[in-house]
Structure 1
Amino acid sequence: MITIKDIANAAGVSHATVSRVINNGPKVGDETRKRVKQVMQELGYRPNANARALVTQKHSALGVVVAELLDPFFATLAHGIDSVARQQNIQLLMSAGSIEKDTELQAIDTLMQHRCEAMVVHSKALDDDTLIEFAGQIPGFVLINRYIPQIAHRCVWLDNTAGGKVMTQHLLDLGHRKFAVISSRYQIDDPSERLQGIRNTLHAAGLTLDDSHIEYSSPDQKGGEHAMRHLLARGVDFTAVLAYNDAMASGAMTTLSDHGLQVPTDASIVGFDDVLLAKYCHPKLTTLHYPIEMMAVKAAELALAYARGEPTSTTHTYKYTPTLVKRDSAAQVHPR
């Protein structure tokens, strides 16, 4: 691990000068500051937020890393965190990771540079070891929507496999036996975990899900349209559709309508997340409620508690389970 001593030796300055640069302290010339920062970058050094906390005796802001700023799901997540920040009179700083490794790393580093000792991070691209390292550097580092066993007490996460089970069982209870799935093409755990829940539940019912009945696309409305067009073009026989999220479900319903098929008369569809769109699309979308705002509040409270050094359990896990919201897009199967 690169230390302040290594930086000082490489830059030809004192340990105190490096410390002043890390903490944006005074009495450092512009050229010296620039040289030290360049050495830090070349050696891959990331300032330890624990050490800075001892210097500043405070955390100046609550940092948040989300995948996308415009996505309704992440807007709800941010709203939950913001409510805690306002209640505790803490500044909120937000950055987007875009589900890309380098961008997520840059987003976290940017928040560290702004002295965020409390941080709620939604990361899907960074590996476990990197996130475990950050958890050791940042006093109030908390992951949301991800579970890593080594730092389980810093993870607020959803049981996606259980969600896949619930949505599938609901359609089985309605008499459906012919299924299609539209899923996200992003290489993250959520789609595969939900798909595993779907497969397990169908298997328990004596059914199998053929790979040709699964279509992958971007997790948005256009992706839902694209996936449904491909399913219809291939002549896939289904009476029920399981969608990765509400946006994809909405896009799929548009494509079904464009092809003269009615929901739920010709095909039932179930979404996931229960964002605002689900309640106001037509027909209203049956979906799985993802308690993301509740989870975000818990994650923010936990991050601030860790940053303050308050006693918290290191054995407790923060697992949440999605619940079914019945609306109008799923109904009893119609005989053909």
Structure 2
Amino acid sequence: MATIKDVAKAAGVSVATVSRVINKSPKASQSSIDSVTKAMNELGYRPNAAARALVSQSTNTIGVLVGDVSDPFFGTMVKAIDKVAHQNGKHLLVGNGYHSADDERRAIELLINNRCDALVIHAKALSDQELIDFSKEVQGLVIINRHVPELEDRCVYLDNHKGAYLATEFLIRQGHEKIACITSSHDIEDVNERIGGYRQALADHQIPLSDAYIESGEPDNDGGEDAMMHLLTKGIEFTGVVAYNDYMAAGALSILDENGLDVPSQVSIVGFDDGFIARYVKPRLTTVRYPIQMMAEKAANLALELAAGDAPTEPEVMRYSPTMVKRDSVKALD
């Protein structure tokens, strides 16, 4: 494999000149650029990215931490960040955190060690203090889907409490009072906020329900199936269901169907996120829209601005508001 010394020898210039050409230094003459480029092509030489970063202090890379890139929610998020990266001549380096503090920490350290120009971090297990410490180390670090008060100007997040409140209140306005909640078993703030929104809506409408109406599971189809099965096994009477996300709602739909309960004529259900699956289950899912694409684009642009030292002069409100998407899985009680 050709080295930078081989290129310098073939081009008849010094190693320093080759380095200037590779790193697009204005000090490199056109004749040097031509001879070095020709030698690199003939030798099949590819500049070492890490070495270039040491000289230029830039890798043209945006680092992204997600929970699990195989989750369609995070796929949408990564695609939106990649769009911004492409517009700015950047590439992506993606790490998975799996809602584990150790995995999140290792992934962030890997992104930092790879000298990413900016970081968009979706971390649920790390403490606020650790994220604050990382933010001191990386000027262009932005946190998405989480609010850390000390990093107010670097957090792009959703009002989860309001989202669950909207979903629950929508069922209440359709005449439902016995409303169950199937939620994620993960110990993260999203879960607490959405349960809080569910309970607040019930309280505001003077509907007393016990905690037996709340069941949890993994935030996927299987978890939705498990949570719904537990609700049915307990023999709780309910006519409405608020789900943590669309995938749990889809799993719940399948269990209701297997047990001869028709949606929406016997049970109405509301999801959360408005992912692709919401439009393709039967019946099409009424849900709460999570504007993750818009939020991810905002987070990526903000991370690049901060990395370049161009922080917004006026503080922006970066708490996004969810909205209802009404489809076919809810029916008003007679």
Question: Please, what TM-score do these two structures have when normalized by structure 2?
Answer: 0.82
Aligned residues: 283
Distance 2:104 2:57 in 1: 27
Range that drifts further, 55-64 or 230-239? 55-64
CA offsets 1:237-294 (integer angstroms, 9 cap, x no match): 1000000000000000000000001000110000000000000110000000000000
Structure 1, unaligned runs of 5 or more: 1-52
Q: Does 1:122 align with 2:122?
A: yes
Distance 1:208 1:153 in 2: 39
Check 1:183–1:302 CA distance in 2 against 1; reply closer, same or farther (3 A cut). Answer: same
The within-5 A match list for 1:225-236 is: 225-236=225-236
CA offsets 1:137-165 (integer angstroms, 9 cap, x no match): 00100000000111110000000011011
Look up the SS of the partner of 1:278 in the other structure: helix
Look up the SS of the partner of 2:216 in the other structure: strand
Which AA in structure 2 matches 1:63? Answer: G
| Partner residue in 1 for 2:34 | none
| Partner residue in 1 for 2:134 | 134
Which AA in structure 1 matches 2:273? Answer: D
The within-5 A match list for 1:69-88 is: 69-88=69-88
| Partner residue in 2 for 1:188 | 188
How much does 1:311 deviate? 3.4
| Partner residue in 1 for 2:49 | none
How much does 1:91 deviate? 1.2
Range that drifts further, 305-314 or 286-295? 305-314
Distance 1:213 1:57 in 2: 55
Contact conserved, 1:146 with 1:157, CA < 8 A, in 2? yes
| Partner residue in 2 for 1:144 | 144
CA offsets 1:64-117 (integer angstroms, 9 cap, x no match): 000001111111111110110111110111010000000000010111111013
Look up the SS of the partner of 1:62 in the other structure: strand
Q: Does 1:269 align with 2:286?
A: no
| Partner residue in 1 for 2:177 | 177
Look up the SS of the partner of 1:147 in the other structure: coil
| Partner residue in 1 for 2:99 | 99
| Partner residue in 2 for 1:66 | 66
Contact conserved, 1:246 with 1:272, CA < 8 A, in 2? yes
Computing the radius of gyration over CA atoms, which structure comes out larger, 1 or 2?
2
Which AA in structure 2 matches 1:266? Answer: Q
Contact conserved, 2:269 with 2:286, CA < 8 A, in 1? yes
Check 1:55–1:313 CA distance in 2 against 1; reply closer, same or farther (3 A cut). Answer: farther
Distance 2:54 2:137 in 1: 13
Contact conserved, 2:65 with 2:108, CA < 8 A, in 1? yes
The within-5 A match list for 1:1-336 is: 56-58=56-58, 60-313=60-313, 315-334=315-334
Contact conserved, 1:141 with 1:154, CA < 8 A, in 2? yes
State the superposition RMSD in angstroms: 1.5
Distance 2:209 2:189 in 1: 19
Distance 2:183 2:315 in 1: 34
Look up the SS of the partner of 1:288 in the other structure: strand
Look up the SS of the partner of 2:283 in the other structure: coil
Look up the SS of the partner of 2:232 in the other structure: helix
| Partner residue in 2 for 1:18 | none
Give runs of ≥4 in structure 1 deviating > 4 Å. none
Contact conserved, 1:148 with 1:155, CA < 8 A, in 2? yes
Aligned identity (percent) is 46
CA offsets 1:195-226 (integer angstroms, 9 cap, x no match): 11111111110112311111011000000000
Check 1:313–1:207 CA distance in 2 against 1; reply closer, same or farther (3 A cut). Answer: farther
Contact conserved, 2:58 with 2:115, CA < 8 A, in 1? no
